[in-house]
Structure 1
Amino acid sequence: MSAPSISAPAMGVRAEAPALAMFLTLLAGATCIGFSGVFVRLADVGPASAGFWRMMVALPVLTAWTAMERRRPAAPAQGAGGLVAIALAGLTFGIDVVLYNASLSYTTLANASLLGNLAPVGVVLGGWLLLGDRPSRRILGALMLAVAGAVLLVLPKFTGQSVRGSLFGDGLAFGAAMSYAAYILAVGRARAHADAGRVSLISSIICAAFCLVAALGLGETILPGSLQGWLAVIALGLVSHVLGQGLITLSLGSYGAGAASLVMVWPALVSVLAAWAIFGEQPTPVQAFGGVAILAAVLLVRKG
């Protein structure tokens, strides 16, 4: 039995501010990722090539970030376990990027984003079965609500209402989701051994190498052939990767992988709204209701 604490309310107030800041950081990173599909659509290179440029554009910023972190004293030790986790993060993220980018050529942006953001299913189950990280009832409830919202968002695609895309594209997006789930778990483990900047830098180098090999093997066009193409791949690197993945990696140091991954359903809603505004893919009322369910799931994660 622990002794009561008179200063508990004050401590709770002080702890709330950093927690809120980390949650907003996580949500901002997820929002930046939500535009990645738009940038890939606007690029005039292959899916693996788009992933390669995404990493290459981000590397200078990530290098500067890592250099700034090294100036701080008492940085966590890396160790062999940390290097393995970072390498796995880079490889799994490379697979995720290639599969997701490829799915955009065979299915709608909404389908690719929604199916690609089913990663919370893999993260929660993987963390539970492999790492013994048993999710709370609130997290499980938020997970079911998020999945229900994703189903409602994608349901009109399978009921004859403006059905576009193929099962092959949907399968690629689902494979991307499982790869991203593995990436989240690997980053969560890597952050126990290294700073966020170092994790992002090394994993991005590995991801870039994987994407380049895949692009060469698939015979893709690697160099953008227009100003729009260059601007699109630059935005992929700076917005979706540096801000998106960087902020998520930073916040994973404070949030558990299960809670953080649930917020990753947010990019699906961002992608649907962006597709509506830019490509004219107007969501149906059912999809709008699914978006509300996703927002509710985000609030549940915040309180959990």
Structure 2
Amino acid sequence: MRVNERDNETKDVLLELVAVAFLATGGIFVKLSTLPPISTGFYRVLFSLPLLFPLAFRGLKDLTKRDVLILILAGCFLAGDVALWNLSFSYTSVANANLLTNLTPFTVIPVSYFLFREKMPKFFLMGAVITVIGVFILLGGKINPGKSNYLGDFLAFCASFFYASFILISYRLRDRYESSVIMFVSGFGSVLVLGVTALLAEGIQIPHGAGELWPLIGLTLCLQVIGHNLLAHCQGKISVNLSAIVCLCQPVIASLYSYFIFAETLSTKEVLGIIVVMAGVYLVKAQYTNHESCRV
């Protein structure tokens, strides 16, 4: 099973970085939400459906019944990611959750090799390893390995497998459908799973007033409508392996948000980690540029 070739142009990589920048705001809004974590995720997806519908409307007529079912399944995987990631914040730090949830390359890269026959350029793994090392350096001073965090770390780690599954399915379907169609239809699967799970685990939760609504709206716009939608768009332009590595920039951007928004200081170790991550991503991107040149 092969997917259409992606051009891996620099403009599309930069566009994915914009998507990652929006996704990096997720931890902030989840922490600010006064609703329980799974209910927060439920409303995040529910509120996105009427916003995505006008964007997806024209492409819905091209959907086959089989692909609708596949997209619903993708939405179920995204729901698992959202529920576990949101829940992990109750037990562990934002740094831990961001790091462990973004370990998707360890799932995406080997699966894409066997499933999609995605070929890796010569020094791809070197760049990927450098990027991961940079992420660990960046978050090394913030990660707390205490026993009380083990459950949250485990939940965030499990979320990475659900997220990787969503990425792989949406990557495959981007050959035929626009990103808005993927996010809109998969949203019904997410709403179903998150709604039932929230009802059973947290009871009926209804947001009241602007104080409870605005973090949910922030999550809806920044993550579901812009972040994930833009990321799905970029999956039609760049290799899934390159995309997974670019997503590792999320902890970097989250740290920069903390510096500029919350006036948190960046240690020398954190600055070094940021530099190493960006060097790794640059090396990976350069491999795809060289690979395309050689192929031509």
Cα distance in 2 for partners of 1:110, 1:226 equals 30
Give SS of 2:185's match: helix
Matches of 1:137 and 1:81, distance apart in 2: 37
Larger Rg: 1
State the partner residue of 1:293: 276
Q: For residue 4 of structure 1, what is the aligned residue in structure 2?
A: none
Alignment pair present for 1:23 and 2:13 = yes
Aligned position for 1:134: 119
> Are the counterparts in 2 of residues 39 and 236 from structure 1 also a CA contact under 8 Å?
yes
Is 1:210–2:193 an aligned residue pair?
yes
Change (3 A) 1:294 1:221: farther
Kindly state the Cα deviation for residue 250 of structure 1 after the two structures are TM-superposed. Answer: 0.8
1:54 has 2:44 as partner: yes
2: distance between equivalents of 1:223 and 1:257?
Answer: 37
Q: Is the 8 A contact 1:44 1:226 kept in 2?
A: no
Q: Does 1:248 align with 2:231?
A: yes
Paired with 1:159 and 1:236, the residues of 2 have a C-alpha distance of 26
Confirm or deny: 8 A CA contact 1:119 1:180 kept in the other structure.
yes
Shift of 1:41: 0.4
Aligned partner letter, 2:68 = L
- Cα distance between partner residues in 2 of 1:283 and 1:110: 14
Shift of 1:278: 5.0
Q: CA deviation at 1:238?
A: 0.7
Residues 85/159 of structure 1: CA separation in 2 closer, same or farther (3 Å cut):
closer
Cα deviation 1:222-262 (Å, max 9, x = unaligned): 22345232110001001111110111111111112111111
Deviates more, 1:28-37 or 1:214-223: 214-223
What's the CA shift for 1:141?
Answer: 2.1
Q: Could you tell me which runs of 5 or more consecutive residues in structure 1 were left unpaired when the two chains were aligned.
A: 1-14
Q: Deviations over 1:21-59 (max 9, x none)?
A: 322221111110000110000011111111111112211
Relative to structure 2, which stretch is displaced further, 40-49 or 85-94? 85-94
C-alpha contact 1:82 1:193 (8 A) present in aligned 2: no
2:15 and 2:70 mapped to 1: Cα distance?
23
Rounded to whole Å, the distance in 2 between the matches of 1:158 and 1:33 is 20
Can you give the 5+ residue segments of structure 2 that lack an aligned partner in the other structure?
A: 1-5, 289-296
In structure 2, which of residues 102, 105, 109 is the aligned counterpart of residue 117 of structure 1? Answer: 102
Match of 1:177 among 160, 163, 179: 160
Deviation (angstroms), 1:157:
4.3
Q: For residue 68 of structure 1, report the CA deviation from its aligned partner.
A: 4.8
Residues 72 and 187 in structure 2, CA contact (< 8 A), matched pair in contact too: no
CA distance in 2 between counterparts of 1:232 and 1:78 reads 33
Tell me how far apart the structure 1 counterparts of residues 259 and 204 of structure 2 sit (CA, whole Å).
28
Please give the root-mean-square deviation of Cα atoms over the aligned residues, in Å: 2.5
Against the structure 1 CA distance between its residues 237 and 297, is the aligned structure 2 distance closer, same or farther, given a 3 Å change threshold?
same
Question: Of 151, 157, 163, which residue of structure 2 is paired with 1:168?
Answer: 151
- Measured at CA, do residues 275 and 223 of structure 1 come closer, stay the same or move farther in structure 2, by a change above 3 Å? farther
Partner of 1:149: 134
Asked if the contact 1:92–1:179 (Cα under 8 Å) also holds between the matched residues in 2, the reply is yes
* 8 Å contact kept, 2:48–2:225: yes
1:33 counterpart = 2:14: no
> Alignment partner of 1:126: what SS?
helix
Name 1:11's counterpart in structure 2. Answer: none
1:129 is displaced (CA, Å) by 3.3
Q: 1:220 to 1:289 in 2, by over 3 A?
A: farther
- Percent of aligned pairs sharing the same letter: 26
CA contact (8 A) 2:96 2:143 kept: no
Cα deviations by residue, 1:164-203 (Å, 9 ceiling, x for unpaired): 9611111111111121111110101121232222111001
**Higher mean C-alpha deviation, range 265-274 or range 230-239:** 265-274
1:273 aligns to what? 256
Are the structure 2 counterparts of residues 223 and 288 from structure 1 closer, same or farther at C-alpha, using a change threshold of 3 Å? farther
- 2:183 is the alignment partner of 1:200: yes
Q: Structure 2 vs 1, CA of residues 96 and 159 (structure 1 numbering), >3 Å: closer, same or farther?
A: closer
